Amino acid sequence: MAEEAMPDPFVLFGAWLEEAAATEPDDPNAMAIATADASGVPNVRMVLLKGFDASGFVFYTNIESRKGTELRSNMHAAGALHWKTLHRQVRFRGQVDVVTDSEADSYFASRDRNSRIGAWASQQSRPLESRSALEEAVARQTARFRTEELVRPPYWTGLRVKPVYIEFWCQRPYRLHDRLAFERDKPGAEWSVTRLYP
């Protein structure tokens, strides 16, 4: 992992993700996303990375969920991906923006039909009285969308973390791990690169 050979963190990330796709048994795009509530207490959960480019890392969610509510009040998040088979991880943090409607519509349309129905049936993060209540909600929405167009719910969209910090970590013997940190003052600015002690 040489910073001289790889000055763009998104190029390096793409290479690592491609390798992970070939080696990880399940969900190489699984990532932890951390948000904070109104009192500053953090919450973290696993989501799926659904896209990335030089503008940031994208995932999709119900914005009425706990993560959505927290992000609406504090549009910053941190994320991490860990690839056990490769002994690597990447972590990042930055400002969060909502993707465009056209991006969200396009991704929603690409999802499996049952997953799209599930987005309508689930009141994500809110109390659920029983599993059967969820199954009934799925059945209602399935019946509804036999005759209606299955469009994206207004509360379901994508969020893009626009990082100002990205760190690449690679396991080495005796815990003398390799760490490379990319930092910038704001999204779109030039990156500085620093090698860190393990």
**Contacts of residue 44, Cβ cutoff 8 Å, sequence gap at least 6:** 32, 33, 34, 35
Q: Side-chain half-sphere of 67: how many Cα atoms within 13 Å?
A: 22
CA–CA separation, 8 vs 138, rounded Å? 44
- Would you state the torsion angle of the CA atoms of residues 113, 117, 120, 126, taken in this order, to the nearest 10 degrees? -110
CA distance 107 to 104: 5
Separation between Cα atoms, residue 59 and residue 81, nearest integer Å: 13
Q: Catalytic residue at 175?
A: yes
On the 0-12 / 13-18 / 19+ scale of CB atoms within 10 A, 69 is: middle
CA 163 centroid distance within chain: 12
Q: Which of the following is catalytic: 175, 179, 184, 195? A: 175
Q: Hey, which residues are catalytic here? A: 175
